[in-house]
Structure 1
Amino acid sequence: MSEIIIAPFSHNALRDWPAGQFKALTELLLRQISLHMSIAVVGTRSQRIAAAEIVRPFPVRRVSNACGLPWETVLHKLRGAACVIGNNSGITHVSSYFGVPTVCVFGGSHQRTEWGALGPTTVILSRVIGCSPCQLNHIRDCPYNAACLHEIEPGEVASAALRVMGRSDQHENAADRQKTGSLEKTVAQC
Structure 2
Amino acid sequence: MSRTVISVENLSKKYHIGSNSADLLREHITNTLRRIVGRAPTSDEAKTIWALKDINLEVQEGEILGVIGHNGAGKSTLLKILSRITYPTTGRIEMTGRISSLLEVGTGFHPELTGRENVYMNAAILGMKRSETRQKFDEIVDFAGVERFIDTPVKRYSTGMRTRLAFSVAAHLEPEILIVDEVL
TM-score normalised per structure 1:
0.25
TM-score normalised per structure 2:
0.25
Larger radius of gyration: 2
Higher helix proportion (structure 1 or 2): 1
Name which structure has the greater RCO, CA cutoff 8 Å, separation 6+. 2
Higher strand proportion (structure 1 or 2): 2
